[in-house]
Chains A and B, each alone.
Chain A
Amino acid sequence: MNWLDTILQGVLLGGLYALFAAGLSLVFGIMRLVNLAHGDLIVLAAFLILVLVTTLGLNPFISALVAMPLMFAIGWALQYFLLNRTLGKDILPPLLVTFGLSIVIQNGLLEGFSADSRRVFAGSIESASVNLGPVTAGIMPLMTFFSAVAVIVGLNQLIYRTSVGRAFRATSDDPVTAGLMGIRPQRIFAMATGLAMVVVTIAALYLGTRANFDPTSGPSRLIYAFEAVIIGGLGSLWGTLAGGIILGVAQTVGAAINPEWQILAGHLAFLGVLLFKPRGLFPRAVD
């Protein structure tokens, strides 16, 4: 067994989990909303990309670019017209509503696309690889990982360097006082969810080109996304990337020891982190 190769593959897999998780982390960080339909929204975006590829004959990467503004609009409207009404002191309504939404999306996709497993074909790039000295890495896993890093860097720049990002943070701190600054929290939340859906579209592109998906594969993506967010510490985007990598490495190392242990090893790593650092590795100082 080549440990270096195993760990590299795990790190690259972690990029995919970080992409699953980044949108969840963003939404939770800004409005303390736990979106149980997040995994299903990833699958929804994957089907959207699939439809664009099959009906318009577009390249998957171009399809994802087309899908991004559509998913932004879906996220914006979902937050503005539905999820904003669930936010408040009680944490139960958003959980119940997004849980229901998860069922609605799964069954809607089942009606529209049947229960068949699907894939988005990206052509020869799927099996291309580069030689990195002692190890070899696939082009797609490398692209996934660097997309994840680019998404995290981009979101951090947005949050810490722009006027909208200041409004995100201020609204997260205190929506009433943010209103005195002319910020409309309802619209800020809608924009944040729209942005999360753009990240979801990127995650869906790599989900759809690297693995099979069907209308019910959302919840298992949600678990990995949750674990990555919690390992990293709630509200920290770099923590989410670290959480994804830890999860990915744990899974590939587990699989290298015994293929049956892949999933279990990831969950054990998650429990291990919770045991020693209950608030995750890089929790935000406040709250």
Chain B
Amino acid sequence: MALLETRGLTAAYGDFQALFGVDITVGAGETIAIIGANGAGKTTLMRSISGVLANATESILYRDEPIGALPAPDILARGIAMVPEGRKLFPSLTVEENLLIGNYGRKVVGPWTLESIFALFPILKERRSNPATALSGGQQQMVAIGRALMSNPEVLLCDEISLGLAPVVVRDIYAAFPRIRETGASIVIVEQDIAQALNVADRVYCMMEGRVTLTGRSTDLSRDDIHKAYFGTEHHELA
């Protein structure tokens, strides 16, 4: 049974429609990846699920409850936390304060505490009193992930966590994911790096121009299928 599901999800910024009927499902404990080029609608999908964008109420279901129209604090309270694109750390807060604020709207007992996040990313403990924006990009991404984990989410949404980071740093960050999966949380990863996505996810959705163009188990998809779904068909007709 699906834990989280979108049904014919549409989203628009004013006159510009970004999603045209997206259907995805996320099972309990499952890790899925959403891949696609810039402008495919991946971030819009994450913003819709997390409540930053309001949608038709029936278009997003969580534990069979319609949540599409709920604002972000209500989504978090239900157990869906997001690592936003671009990290979005609070510059006025220290590293430790950025982590502590992660459970402001959802205080549940679970595997994630300040101590267990410092154990996951030991460098953050050393830098706990620094302003969050004084850290390197990779360390900032660790803070953003730790901040989302502080609410002990049932679903963790990660939007472009490797964006702008060196490959070696990306590897360090993804090394934390097996530990996050062990806690039983479902994970949704938005990723432009196809190899990284196939490596970490059970299933993959490929998006293009606001629609899902391909879906399947990571092990079943061929490189060629993904390439076509990612970039579209070989030739575009000129209007």
Q: Is the CB of B104 within 8 A of A177?
A: no
Q: How distant is A218 from chain B, measured CB to nearest CB, in Å? A: 31
Q: Is the CB of B93 within 8 A of A183?
A: no
A residues near B90, Cβ cutoff 8 Å? 169-170, 173-174, 177-178
Q: How far is the CA of A260 from the CA of B90 in the complex (A)?
A: 49
- Interchain CB contact (< 8 A) of B104 among A172, A176, A181, A286: A181
Q: How distant is A182 from chain B, measured CB to nearest CB, in Å? A: 1
Residue B142, interface by CB 8 Å: no
Q: Is the CB of A170 within 8 A of B92?
A: yes
Residue B66, interface by CB 8 Å: no
Q: Is the CB of B73 within 8 A of A172?
A: no
Mark contacts of B79-104 with chain A using CB atoms, 8 A cut-off: 1 yes-contact digit, 0 otherwise: 00110100010111100010011111
Residue A163, interface by CB 8 Å: yes
Q: Is the CB of A170 within 8 A of B101?
A: yes
Most B-side CB within 10 Å, residue of A176, A178, A181: A181
Residue A180, interface by CB 8 Å: yes
Number of B residues near A (Cβ < 8 Å) is 26
Q: How distant is A156 from chain B, measured CB to nearest CB, in Å? A: 13
Q: Is the CB of B73 within 8 A of A167?
A: no
Residue A85, interface by CB 8 Å: no
Q: How distant is A173 from chain B, measured CB to nearest CB, in Å? A: 5
Q: Is the CB of A182 within 8 A of B73?
A: yes
Q: How far is the CA of A166 from the CA of B89 in the complex (A)?
A: 13
Q: Knowing A180-B76, A182-B151, say if A167 contacts B88 (CB, 8 Å).
A: no
Residue B72, interface by CB 8 Å: yes
Mark contacts of A168-209 with chain B using CB atoms, 8 A cut-off: 1 yes-contact digit, 0 otherwise: 011011101111111110000000000000000000000000
- The closest CB in chain B to the CB of A177 belongs to B88
Tell me the A234-249 residues at the B interface (CB within 8 Å): none
Residue B71, interface by CB 8 Å: yes
A residues near B105, Cβ cutoff 8 Å? 181-183
B residues near A176, Cβ cutoff 8 Å? 52, 72
Q: Is the CB of A181 within 8 A of B92?
A: no
Q: Is the CB of A167 within 8 A of B104?
A: yes
Residue B147, interface by CB 8 Å: yes
B residues near A177, Cβ cutoff 8 Å? 84, 88, 90
A residues near B151, Cβ cutoff 8 Å? 182
Q: Is the CB of B97 within 8 A of A166?
A: yes
Most B-side CB within 10 Å, residue of A170, A173, A182, A183: A182
A residues near B82, Cβ cutoff 8 Å? 180
Residue B51, interface by CB 8 Å: yes
Q: Is the CB of A169 within 8 A of B92?
A: yes
Mark contacts of B131-153 with chain A using CB atoms, 8 A cut-off: 1 yes-contact digit, 0 otherwise: 00000000000000001000100
Residue B50, interface by CB 8 Å: yes
- The closest CB in chain B to the CB of A165 belongs to B97
- Interchain CB contact (< 8 A) of B84 among A172, A180, A183: A180
Q: Is the CB of A163 within 8 A of B72?
A: no
- Interchain CB contact (< 8 A) of B76 among A169, A170, A172, A182: A182
Tell me the A129-169 residues at the B interface (CB within 8 Å): 163, 166-167, 169
Q: How distant is B48 from chain A, measured CB to nearest CB, in Å? A: 13
Tell me the A263-287 residues at the B interface (CB within 8 Å): 286
B residues near A169, Cβ cutoff 8 Å? 90, 92-93, 97
Most B-side CB within 10 Å, residue of A163, A170, A177: A177
- The closest CB in chain B to the CB of A184 belongs to B73
A residues near B71, Cβ cutoff 8 Å? 179, 184
A residues near B147, Cβ cutoff 8 Å? 181
Q: Knowing A166-B97, A176-B52, say if A183 contacts B92 (CB, 8 Å).
A: no
Most A-side CB within 10 Å, residue of B71, B100, B105, B147: B105
Residue B42, interface by CB 8 Å: no
Residues of A within 8 A of B (CB): 163, 166-167, 169-170, 172-174, 176-184, 286
